[in-house]
Structure 1
Amino acid sequence: MAINPPVLPPLPRLPVAVPRSGVSSDARRALRQLLGDVDRGLTVAFRDGADASVLARRRSESVDRMVAHVWTACLGEVDNAALFAVGGYGRGLLFPYSDVDLLALVDAPEPARLRALEQFFATLWDIGLKVGHAVRELAHCRELASSDATVFTSLLDARRLVGDPAFDATLRAIIDDPQLWPPADYLAARLAERDARHARYDDTAYNLEPNIKDGPGGLRTLDSLRWLGRRLAHAGGFEDMQIEGLLDPAERTSLCEAESTLRRYRYALHLEAGRPEERLLFDYQRALAARLGFEDEHEKNLGVEQFMQGYYRAASQVERLGVQVAERFVEMLEPPGDEEPVGTDFVRYGRRLAARDPELFMRRPAALVEIFIARLDVPGVVGFSADSMRRIHQATAVHEAMLATDPDALAAFLRLLRRGAPAVDALWRMNRHGLLAAILPAFGKVFGRMQYDLFHVYTVDEHTLRVLRNMARFADPAAKRDFALGCEIWADMPKPEILLLSALLHDIAKGRGGDHSVLGEEEARAFCTRLELSRGDVERVAWLVRWHLLMSTTAQRQDITDPEVVQRFAEKVENRERLGQLYLLTVADVIGTSPRLWNAWKDRLLADLYHATRYALSRDVDLPRDAGERVQECAEYALALLMDQGVAEADVERVWADFPQLSFLRHRPEQIAWQTTAILRAGGAVPLVAVHPMSVRGSTELFVCTPDRDGLFATVTAMLDRLRFSVMEARILSSPKGMAMDTFLLLESDSQQPASAARADELQQRLQRALAQSTGVQPGKRTMSRHQRHFQTAPKISFDDAGDRTQLALVGTDRPGLLAAVAQVILEAGARVHDARIATFGERVEDFFLLSDRHNAPLDQALRDRLLHALLERIGPSKD
């Protein structure tokens, strides 16, 4: 059954303008009505599936008629002025809320002419057009164009709408003047503008809220290619650029298809936002996905993720080809240099590498990988020749179906990986050329794969490449200052290909549904087998992919000061080599997920787990040490530290007489010594509040010692929230004499860094005053950010028996003041907090509390139900 094509609204039929009569109020109302009719008709046509480019051109044509009508009515037929459309409007495209950019060129304008122009522009605004305009004399226009590449570029798109035709030739003379922006200068200016623009958008097309117009890989990149083609090769369109050899047919098709997608998304975004919005904000992404027909497949492949993947794939194609075509322009303006042989198959021309035989890649697919290896061996090479880049693309497309199984190509790929850290740059470049996805087809499936949360700030493929780059940093001696342990471990790793493969494959199964670690293990084992790794190496990579989250989850969700936790982790890891590999992968993964996730506390946490596990593996025992032995060892070490500071042993013993035994199990000797010193200095005064700005745990440590009372935890967390501190860990202990001895590890909420000395003093004084009062501190009213509001989900809350305590588990999305709110609810429900384990993963929190009732008994069912209801009421997604 045939489907009727969308119906475009007709071009507006306007009455013949009466010259210089102006536009009456009735005529203005009629024009506003006509413009509204056109826009409504275009919206319906877009909803019915019309092409966005066709609609943008129809809107431009409609506005052309209105603008010409108003010009004639205000200025009449003039021979010394003309009106030009510039910008996107000059290219004949107007999206629903695009600016109507106009340039009026005049010869020595008289006051009457200027008044008529003012009336003209005011009328356009009055009928509903958002006009950007400039009025210039020709000499001034030329002067501006000669000094500003942006002004010169705007003239390249200039299109006369109405007025004296003689201005066409005059404007053309400015554009074609070889003295104005010679090709080399213009290319340098445009590349500088590109780099500055990309820097404003984090230099990547993979932002969570990308800018369709100006971001990397956006529509501006396509415009820039046309401008460069026009100025450097007299080829202003992709068809002309193909004729000139700057694009091959496949590249031209890719650019056109990507442009069609970006224009469709931009058109829909304008309609959804109701304004000239160019960023795919979270506010619009779900609605846009629904508007464009994307539906949820399953919870690991949401419609919004498919929608964003369409954007990322298009933007990536534009960014990749934009860089390559710009390189071709650079090469076009550079002398080629003398030919120098590079091995048997390649030659060097100046700073560029090329295949000796133009048919090499078609004849021998393994050479596609080998040229990237050769590039590593030739200093001073910045890239490949334009012809070689094109032939790499062509051969990759031809051989794509067999590269993943070609023994020679896979052997070359393995040789590349065995280069270690330098291979990472080659892998990044191979991805740019589409070769990485051809060798590893599963990587092509995660290309542009968005994960709709605030934890993963990059698409899966971009994240993977960043993890690889982070891995390579461990081989750089300059990185020892930031990653001393990582650099030390890397230096002892005998097979770097194991680490690079684990990084490349760790998220390869994202978006398929199910556990991506389990599915990824299968993918890793299959790919490594095709690479003909030894059976042992295959299993090493597969294990790292399967358990790549093990170390971070153990460190953040469990008490790594507990030898039993360390022992279980050690039994899973089995040996020191695997421990080192897992540590490197974990650190690279955390930093590659989001720069904000890495901080001194997390660095210290993972390092502590690594060292504790390394010690456990070297002791060759099956059972953890007896608790009494651990208490004695910690106490002896802490006593030695205190005596070195001149503290008398008798004073230490007096303080420790009221220390709970768990303190020596839960804390390091350095922490015990610091807490003891604080108590001695206080001389028995309570409440005692001590703050260590930078503790041994890589965070700010807060120690509170005061008579225990209900609501103490709620008061402390409320004050911490008011002062904008994030709680990374909490230890709630009670002494034999009823003193609360609570320890909190903190980071600044905004920077996720330890507190400065001044902030530590502020915290100490504010909390000291608060605890001295009989009334508690209420949590402050905190609002969620725009991003957080879009990712709020109902928390998952469960209760479990834990001996004489009840464990409350809370998993959900983070929000300002969450811990303080939870603490207040627990207090109001009539429960007591005895321990807290706080873990935050981006926007996701996983917090665990050990609770009792007011009589220190486990929570009964009624109290559990009351607490559950109150928590859902207070911290559910509808609350702000």
Structure 2
Amino acid sequence: MNTALLAKQALIEQNQALLARFQAKAPIVELVLQRCQFVDSLVKHVWAQLGLNRFDIALIAVGGYGRGELHPHSDIDLLFLYDNSLCADAENALSQFIAFLWDANLEIGHSVRTLEDTLSLGRIDVTIATNLLEARFLTGTESLFDRLYDAIRQGDFWTSSDFFIAKRDEQNARHARASAFDLEPNIKSCPGGLRDIQTIAWVAMRHFGAARLEELVQYDFLEPAELEELLECQSFLWTLRFALHMTAGRDENRLLFDVQRQVAELMGYQDATQLAVEQMMKRYYRTVRRVMELNEMLLQLFKRATLGQTKALEIQSIDKHYQRRGTFIEALSDDVFDSSEEIIRLFLLVAKNSNIKSIYAPTLRSLRRARRAQTQALQENPLCRQAFMEILRHPRGIVALSLMHKHGVLSAYLPAWRNIEGQMQFDLFHAYTVDEHTHRLLLNIERFSQAEQKEEFPLGSVLINQLPKKGLLVLGAIFHDIAKGRGGIIVSWAALMPSPFVNSMA
């Protein structure tokens, strides 16, 4: 048997060993590191066997491989870096090296470049620049790697502000192509997926020179609890991706219906009061929502740090607790949400101010703390119910409800809503989870109310404005699918609400 086939068999056996450890609940961080270390040892061995050390070339891992994170069938991204030119013998040896790795069944992505070309391309292509930031020396001429490492950390390579803008725009474009709540999500590129966590790390790496997310705590950009949450989310997504690779037998990131049940079983979920696949997918959707919120907050903070106040945001007082800063609502103190009714009143103020689109990052951080600290549903507080009623009655109430849903406050208010968050729908009529389907229904009701939609929805636009109590329609929309969170049992929405709330809508 030739050596490439022996290497292929060794990789298969190593994956089998990793699978056994995975099923024994070994930490996923250890598994992706172990896979990377095994591939490292293989490529270094082949490099030496082919005599490539006699040439002035550096073998460098980039991308996910550069980060030291490999899943069972992840691509192996390599940069062959040299100084001026390659002789024919060196080119031939590199060809043999690449062919060997392909024959061993490794998915190789590679580039062969001079140091000058590498830096030139990196300056004009943010994807190449990002890969270079994660570069890790493997073997060969280390002095070449050192020169690359030093050059890409100079201010003229990519400034923090330019890099931030490029990665933010890249993320926005990626988010525009897919929903986080597709029933067959791409766990790597969908909003809230692994790319969103990596984007935070990339921006931090460029701005601070940070090599790990943990370092953001030292720079006061991440609180310890936020770091723990982010790492918990990453661990779950890594576990899901590992199981998906093992099930599909290839580098697959789409969680298709065909494999969802096998992936769920491999992760240890079992059918009980809820199907195993439903349990897994509910955990997935709740995880990506947490990642999306952390990503939004941290990128907003990075924007302030990298771009500064190049254009001062207009500040307008709202009341003694809040002000509008540009298109953000901002709390004037960190402890404003110690009074739980302020959690709901924040969104009422959003409804009342059409210039407000989002929550200012420091305020969002305070809101997240307060949301976690709640020991009972917010609907049990009469002042919260009063503010929620005002939101339902307000012409822009759906705008506020949408933001409440985005930041987990709707589920903190309504326990019944929490039950449908991330709930799968196995039929031909729904493309989203139950909560996202309901959320989009609310947004469509809002569209009927907009003057510019009269041509597209002439009858709907007339009828919506003739309703004596639009809040009842909104409430009906919120609860129209709520029974799916109770196993499909038909229940009255009134039975799920406190009686003072129901009576006030009558």
Q: Equivalent residue for 2:198?
A: 223
Q: Are residue 111 (structure 1) and residue 88 (structure 2) matched?
A: yes
- In structure 1, distance between residues paired with 2:304 and 2:359: 10
Letter paired with 1:367 = E
Q: 2:293 aligns with which of 300, 320, 330?
A: 320
Q: Are residue 309 (structure 1) and residue 266 (structure 2) matched?
A: no
Shift of 1:265: 1.1
Shift of 1:500: 1.3
Q: 1:524 aligns with which of 494, 498, 503?
A: 494
Q: Secondary structure at the match of 1:452?
A: coil
Q: Equivalent residue for 1:463?
A: 437
Q: Are residue 97 (structure 1) and residue 83 (structure 2) matched?
A: no
The residue correspondences of 1:595-606 to structure 2 (distance < 5 A) are none
C-alpha contact 1:80 1:107 (8 A) present in aligned 2: yes
- In structure 2, distance between residues paired with 1:240 and 1:59: 24
Shift of 1:33: 3.1
Q: Equivalent residue for 1:272?
A: 247
Q: Give the direction of change, closer, same or farther, for the CA distance of 1:79–1:439 in structure 2 (3 Å limit).
A: same
Q: 1:206 aligns with which of 170, 174, 181?
A: 181
Residues 231-268 of structure 1: CA deviation (Å, up to 9, x unaligned):
13433433222332322233222221221111111111
- In structure 1, distance between residues paired with 2:331 and 2:287: 29
Q: 1:77 aligns with which of 53, 66, 69?
A: 53
Q: Equivalent residue for 1:873?
A: none
Q: Are residue 286 (structure 1) and residue 256 (structure 2) matched?
A: no
- Tell which structure's C-alpha radius of gyration is larger: 1
Letter paired with 1:92 = G
Q: Are residue 371 (structure 1) and residue 341 (structure 2) matched?
A: no
Q: Give unmatched runs, 5+ long, in structure 2.
A: none
Shift of 1:402: 4.9
CA RMSD of the aligned region, Å?
2.0
Shift of 1:193: 1.3
Shift of 1:76: 4.2
Q: Give unmatched runs, 5+ long, in structure 1.
A: 1-24, 539-880
Q: Are residue 254 (structure 1) and residue 229 (structure 2) matched?
A: yes
C-alpha contact 2:188 2:253 (8 A) present in aligned 1: yes
C-alpha contact 1:446 1:461 (8 A) present in aligned 2: yes
Q: Give the direction of change, closer, same or farther, for the CA distance of 1:253–1:131 in structure 2 (3 Å limit).
A: same
Q: Equivalent residue for 1:427?
A: 401
- In structure 2, distance between residues paired with 1:426 and 1:400: 23
Q: Secondary structure at the match of 1:509?
A: helix
Residues 740-765 of structure 1: CA deviation (Å, up to 9, x unaligned):
xxxxxxxxxxxxxxxxxxxxxxxxxx
Residues 289-344 of structure 1: CA deviation (Å, up to 9, x unaligned):
2222323335xx32222221122111222122222222222233241646542222
Bigger RCO of structures 1 and 2 (CA < 8 A, at least 6 apart): 2
Shift of 1:81: 1.7
- In structure 1, distance between residues paired with 2:283 and 2:334: 34
- In structure 1, distance between residues paired with 2:416 and 2:242: 32
- In structure 2, distance between residues paired with 1:236 and 1:246: 14
Q: Give the direction of change, closer, same or farther, for the CA distance of 1:27–1:82 in structure 2 (3 Å limit).
A: same
Q: Equivalent residue for 1:683?
A: none
Q: 1:474 aligns with which of 426, 435, 448?
A: 448
TM-score, normalised by the number of residues in structure 2: 0.94
- In structure 2, distance between residues paired with 1:449 and 1:262: 18
The residue correspondences of 1:118-129 to structure 2 (distance < 5 A) are 118-129=95-106
- In structure 2, distance between residues paired with 1:89 and 1:152: 15
Q: Secondary structure at the match of 2:428?
A: coil
Q: Equivalent residue for 1:329?
A: 302
Residues 32-69 of structure 1: CA deviation (Å, up to 9, x unaligned):
33222212211222222223332121111001001011
- In structure 1, distance between residues paired with 2:451 and 2:317: 32
Q: Equivalent residue for 2:467?
A: 493
Residues 520-546 of structure 1: CA deviation (Å, up to 9, x unaligned):
x1x434425253643xx35xxxxxxxx
Letter paired with 2:303 = V
Q: Equivalent residue for 1:437?
A: 411
Q: Are residue 452 (structure 1) and residue 426 (structure 2) matched?
A: yes
Shift of 1:273: 1.0
C-alpha contact 1:305 1:452 (8 A) present in aligned 2: no
Q: Equivalent residue for 1:549?
A: none
Q: Which has the higher strand share?
A: 1
TM-score, normalised by the number of residues in structure 1: 0.55
- In structure 2, distance between residues paired with 1:354 and 1:232: 25
Q: Are residue 179 (structure 1) and residue 152 (structure 2) matched?
A: no
Q: Secondary structure at the match of 1:353?
A: strand
Identity of aligned residues (%): 37
Letter paired with 1:205 = A
C-alpha contact 1:235 1:244 (8 A) present in aligned 2: no
Q: Equivalent residue for 1:237?
A: 212
Q: Secondary structure at the match of 1:162?
A: strand
Q: 1:44 aligns with which of 3, 17, 20?
A: 20
C-alpha contact 2:297 2:365 (8 A) present in aligned 1: no
Shift of 1:514: 4.5
Q: Equivalent residue for 1:632?
A: none
- In structure 2, distance between residues paired with 1:212 and 1:99: 16
- In structure 2, distance between residues paired with 1:294 and 1:41: 21
Q: Which has the higher helix share?
A: 2
- In structure 2, distance between residues paired with 1:92 and 1:145: 21
Shift of 1:491: 1.0
Q: Give the direction of change, closer, same or farther, for the CA distance of 1:338–1:464 in structure 2 (3 Å limit).
A: closer
- In structure 1, distance between residues paired with 2:375 and 2:410: 10
- In structure 1, distance between residues paired with 2:147 and 2:31: 32
Q: Give the direction of change, closer, same or farther, for the CA distance of 1:96–1:530 in structure 2 (3 Å limit).
A: farther
Q: Equivalent residue for 1:715?
A: none
C-alpha contact 2:185 2:254 (8 A) present in aligned 1: yes
- In structure 2, distance between residues paired with 1:329 and 1:430: 24
- In structure 2, distance between residues paired with 1:72 and 1:195: 43
- In structure 2, distance between residues paired with 1:162 and 1:255: 33
C-alpha contact 1:505 1:524 (8 A) present in aligned 2: no
C-alpha contact 1:347 1:353 (8 A) present in aligned 2: yes
The residue correspondences of 1:630-669 to structure 2 (distance < 5 A) are none
- In structure 2, distance between residues paired with 1:526 and 1:36: 53
C-alpha contact 2:351 2:391 (8 A) present in aligned 1: no
Letter paired with 1:168 = F
Q: Secondary structure at the match of 1:209?
A: coil
Q: Give the direction of change, closer, same or farther, for the CA distance of 1:351–1:273 in structure 2 (3 Å limit).
A: same
Q: Secondary structure at the match of 1:135?
A: strand
Letter paired with 1:258 = C
Q: Secondary structure at the match of 2:155?
A: coil
Q: Equivalent residue for 1:53?
A: 29
- In structure 2, distance between residues paired with 1:394 and 1:373: 19
Shift of 1:195: 2.0
- In structure 2, distance between residues paired with 1:140 and 1:380: 47
Q: Give the direction of change, closer, same or farther, for the CA distance of 1:401–1:250 in structure 2 (3 Å limit).
A: farther
Q: Are residue 407 (structure 1) and residue 382 (structure 2) matched?
A: yes
Shift of 1:154: 0.5
Query: Which portions of structure 1, spanning 4 or more consecutive aligned residues, are displaced by more than 4 angstroms?
Result: 336-339
Shift of 1:349: 3.4
Letter paired with 2:410 = L
- In structure 1, distance between residues paired with 2:276 and 2:319: 49
Q: Are residue 390 (structure 1) and residue 365 (structure 2) matched?
A: yes
Q: Give the direction of change, closer, same or farther, for the CA distance of 1:433–1:153 in structure 2 (3 Å limit).
A: same
Q: Are residue 341 (structure 1) and residue 314 (structure 2) matched?
A: no
C-alpha contact 2:204 2:216 (8 A) present in aligned 1: yes
Residues 187-213 of structure 1: CA deviation (Å, up to 9, x unaligned):
221122112222332xx1111111111
For this pair of structures, how many residues does the alignment match? 502
Shift of 1:98: 0.9
Letter paired with 2:114 = E
Q: Equivalent residue for 1:140?
A: 117
Shift of 1:79: 6.9
